[in-house]
Structure 1
Amino acid sequence: MTLTLLVLFAAGLILGIPIAVCLGVSSVITILLHDLPFAVVAQRSVNALDSTPLLAVPLFIFAASLLSATGVTSHLFELTRLFVGRLRGGVAQVNVLVSLIFSGMSGAALADIGALGGIQIKMMEAQGYMRRFAAGTTIAAATIGPIFPPSIPLIIFASAAEVSAVRALLAGVVPALIVTAALMVQIAIMARRGNLPRDTHRPSASEIGRKFTISLPALLAPVLMIAGLLSGVFGPTEVAGVIVAYSVVIGILFYRSLTVQRFFTAARESVEASANILFIVATAALFAWVLTIGGVPAMAGQWLLSISTDPLVLLLILNVLLLVAGMFLESIAAILIIAPIVAPTLMMAGVPAEQLGVIFVLNLMIGLLTPPIGMSLYMVSIITRMEFGEVVRGVLPFYLPLFVALVVVTLFPGFSTWLPNLIMQ
């Protein structure tokens, strides 16, 4: 049964069929061939979507679309540039910092690239940066969003591994800051060696104050979200709804740029993005059920424990597995397929669920910028009309800081567990 499923799935990928369709079709054909109850197709697919934490996914996507429609990304970029733009390579540092700030509104790497990529790359090019370097910086910085709350992949992981979504989201805060710091150090080194450009304009206090005032409502959106989670007043779903309402209010009353047309455009984009994600959730749940019936989780658990019971050794094996999977699979599909198989065994061996979620997401985000199917690479290639190989060359220097961050998070679980344990004792 398992062999049938995997062969059908691999054949679909080779033929270029979308991964969500591959998951569903291979599962349905396997169910029919092995006389499993066909009613389970509807049952497992619907049950997978009947999850309160998953309600946060379309709401966070909608909030990001609304904030993007109001033009807050430009304000955030300009404000951050006033503070660090005069450093050598300053605009590249701005790129990373804005990705961290905007990650508190989107929670998805491709959303960050879609909203910020064009602006960031054009601004860096205008200041004299090589196009390839600008593209690489943008892609690498976009890995921060899916780790820092609100993280859609972490919410998906919590649902798949049946752990607390709030703890999973809080676990991403410190690792995201580690990734940010690693990228900024790499840029500083490259700036010094390559004599990268810097701003010559020295902003006045009044200019900074004016731009800060304009940007303040946008800056308060992630603060509101994190404060709600930390205080326990809101869960992930509730805080997502609050951020949507907040985005509408500031878009209409403060920025006065959220028109009816832009609202419905944002809603349409959010429906399309949410449908894509939730379709993958439904089909991946069916795929995972067939794997479970075939005994794959039990066999995988026995295999892992036969190699070692040391949590660190198991995490190193998982890192290799996820890095390879991330090269070929869409990140959410990979989480939904792999997490139910390996998460119970690793948690039983002593790996904290929070650390496991962060390691899952960080590995798969590195996969997004790794050929042959790095979706971030293709997205930037389309936005900039650069050749795919040129985009890959631009990303190469940033693998080092990302892998350093991955090693740190793997070796030191406290970076992932400290904040959840502090807040949710």
Structure 2
Amino acid sequence: MTLALFLSLIFFFIINIPIAISIALASIAAILVKGNIPLVVVVQKMFTATDSFPLMAVPFFILAGSLMEFGGISRRLVDFANTIVGRLSGGLALVSIIASMFFGAISGAAAATVAAIGTILIPAMVRRGYDRSFATAVQATAGTLGVMIPPSIPMVIYGVLTGVSIGALFIGGILPGILVGVSLMLVAYKISKDRGYKGDEKVGFNKILMAFKDAILALLMPVIILGGIYGGVFTPTEAAVVAVVYGFIIGFFIYKELKLEHLKDILTNAVVSTAMIMFIIATASVFGWLLASEQIPQVVANALLSISRNPIVILALINILLLFIGTFMETVAAIIILVPVFLPVITQIGVDPLHFGLIIVVNLAIGMVTPPLGVCLFVGCGIANIKLEDITRAVWPFLIAMIVDIILITYIPAISTFLPKMLGM
């Protein structure tokens, strides 16, 4: 059955069937080969996987991100970031990264971050003389900060699977997200300096203060979300609902840029995105159950531990595998399938599951901008109206910086665990 499962999955990938349907068809094929499992089990497992209160955070964080985009909040975040770093060489590239960090602290999704900030800044960078592929590469890689900086939909999925506190994962993701953000800024600054991309004129303190006042309500959102979770006021799922209500009030009643006619597009986007994620979760759970029934996690654990019991070696091997898988598999599906496989291994070598969760999230985020199938690359190329091959060369300096970051995050656990431990989580 195991052979049928993997061969059929590879075949469906090759003929370009969507990931969720490929996983479902491969699972059904394996069940038919085994012959003693009724197909109704597929439906039962799919329903059980999505029947989860914590997973309700997913549609609400998606909806909150859409409300922020249409409500004028992304533009205000860009304006505020521009007053901070816009005067430096490559100022707009740096603004793109900082604004993505701010927006990532609201949306929890990478593609949404690329779309929300990229529609503003990619055309702006091109108009200022930036190379189109460079501008797209900056925004695509910056978009991955949407899943590293809390709230994060992949962190929610990991927490549901492992029982690790989602609040602790959110807090733990702050420093890794900042590390990656700063690294991307350094690369963008160096390239911009070499190419002569100049910044804006220096702005006075009063203009910075005005931009801050205009963006303060947007900047308060992650404070409310994380503060409410840590303070025990609400759960991560309830925090997502609070984010939706807050985003609607700010966009509709205060900024007054969110219109009733926008709601159709906002809700449609949220429903479609949620349906895609939930379908992947449902089908991947069946795939994961079949792997568990064939004791694949134990086989993988034994194979890895037979190579070495040194945590440094094991984590290096896992990182390599995650980086490879992230290039062609959707993040949510990869988490659901791989976490049950690797969790027994990291438990035996003494790695904190919280730390490991952030290793997985950052690794798979890198996959979102790794050719040929990085989802953030496709979103960025769509905005910039360029082909994928045009961006491939431009994205590599940023990818190298992110790989260095994941090495640091992997082998310096305090980057992930310091804040949760300090806050007693």
With the shorter chain as reference, the TM-score category is: over 0.9
> For the residues of structure 2 that align with 1:253 and 1:233, how far apart are their CA atoms?
25
Question: 1:128 offset after TM fit, Å?
Answer: 1.8
Question: 1:344 offset after TM fit, Å?
Answer: 2.4
Q: 2:7 maps to which residue?
A: 7
Question: 1:225 offset after TM fit, Å?
Answer: 1.1
CA contact (8 A) 2:96 2:118 kept: no
Question: 1:268 offset after TM fit, Å?
Answer: 1.3
User: What whole-Å deviation, never above 9, does each CA across 1:10-52 have from its counterpart, x for those lacking one?
Assistant: 1111111111001111112221221213332122111111222
State the AA in 2 paired with 1:283: T
Q: 1:275 maps to which residue?
A: 275
Question: 1:194 offset after TM fit, Å?
Answer: 2.5
CA contact (8 A) 2:140 2:379 kept: no
> For the residues of structure 1 that align with 2:163 and 2:314, how far apart are their CA atoms?
20
> For the residues of structure 2 that align with 1:245 and 1:361, how far apart are their CA atoms?
27
Question: 1:162 offset after TM fit, Å?
Answer: 3.3
1:231 aligns with 2:231: yes
> For the residues of structure 1 that align with 2:292 and 2:33, how far apart are their CA atoms?
17
CA contact (8 A) 2:228 2:239 kept: yes
Q: 1:337 maps to which residue?
A: 337
> For the residues of structure 1 that align with 2:77 and 2:379, how far apart are their CA atoms?
22
Structure 2 matches for 1:35-184, cutoff 5 A?
35-184=36-185
Q: What TM-score results when the alignment is normalised by the length of structure 2? A: 0.97
Aligned partner of residue 38 in structure 2, secondary structure:
coil
Deviates more, 1:156-165 or 1:170-179: 156-165
State the AA in 1 paired with 2:358: V
> For the residues of structure 1 that align with 2:152 and 2:369, how far apart are their CA atoms?
18
Question: 1:224 offset after TM fit, Å?
Answer: 1.1
User: What whole-Å deviation, never above 9, does each CA across 1:376-395 have from its counterpart, x for those lacking one?
Assistant: 22222222111211111221
Question: 1:405 offset after TM fit, Å?
Answer: 0.8
> For the residues of structure 1 that align with 2:79 and 2:48, how far apart are their CA atoms?
45
> For the residues of structure 2 that align with 1:212 and 1:177, how far apart are their CA atoms?
20
User: What is the number of equivalent residue pairs in this alignment?
Assistant: 424
Deviates more, 1:209-218 or 1:267-276: 209-218
Aligned partner of residue 146 in structure 2, secondary structure:
coil
Q: What TM-score results when the alignment is normalised by the length of structure 1? A: 0.97
Question: 1:173 offset after TM fit, Å?
Answer: 0.8
> For the residues of structure 1 that align with 2:410 and 2:310, how far apart are their CA atoms?
13
Q: 2:210 maps to which residue?
A: 210
State the AA in 2 paired with 1:249: I
Question: 1:164 offset after TM fit, Å?
Answer: 2.0
CA contact (8 A) 1:105 1:221 kept: yes
Question: 1:229 offset after TM fit, Å?
Answer: 2.3
1:303 aligns with 2:303: yes
> For the residues of structure 2 that align with 1:79 and 1:110, how far apart are their CA atoms?
22
User: What whole-Å deviation, never above 9, does each CA across 1:331-365 have from its counterpart, x for those lacking one?
Assistant: 11111111111122212321111111111111111
> For the residues of structure 2 that align with 1:48 and 1:138, how far apart are their CA atoms?
33
> For the residues of structure 1 that align with 2:418 and 2:288, how far apart are their CA atoms?
31
CA contact (8 A) 1:125 1:134 kept: yes
State the AA in 1 paired with 2:123: K
> For the residues of structure 2 that align with 1:109 and 1:98, how far apart are their CA atoms?
13
Question: 1:113 offset after TM fit, Å?
Answer: 1.0
User: What whole-Å deviation, never above 9, does each CA across 1:142-199 have from its counterpart, x for those lacking one?
Assistant: 1211011011111112222332222222211110011011112222222332222111
State the AA in 2 paired with 1:351: V
Structure 2 matches for 1:342-421, cutoff 5 A?
342-421=342-421
> For the residues of structure 2 that align with 1:205 and 1:372, how far apart are their CA atoms?
44
> For the residues of structure 2 that align with 1:165 and 1:209, how far apart are their CA atoms?
34
Which runs of 5 or more residues in structure 2 are unaligned?
none
Deviates more, 1:95-104 or 1:389-398: 389-398
CA contact (8 A) 1:178 1:405 kept: yes
Percent identity, please: 36
> For the residues of structure 1 that align with 2:204 and 2:359, how far apart are their CA atoms?
42
Structure 2 matches for 1:282-321, cutoff 5 A?
282-321=282-321
> For the residues of structure 1 that align with 2:250 and 2:366, how far apart are their CA atoms?
34
Question: 1:420 offset after TM fit, Å?
Answer: 1.5
Structure 2 matches for 1:256-275, cutoff 5 A?
256-275=256-275
User: What whole-Å deviation, never above 9, does each CA across 1:130-149 have from its counterpart, x for those lacking one?
Assistant: 11111111111112110110
Question: 1:288 offset after TM fit, Å?
Answer: 0.5
> For the residues of structure 2 that align with 1:77 and 1:348, how far apart are their CA atoms?
45
State the AA in 2 paired with 1:287: F
> For the residues of structure 1 that align with 2:283 and 2:204, how far apart are their CA atoms?
55
Q: 1:195 maps to which residue?
A: 196
CA contact (8 A) 1:288 1:340 kept: yes
> For the residues of structure 2 that align with 1:229 and 1:424, how far apart are their CA atoms?
13
Deviates more, 1:119-128 or 1:158-167: 158-167
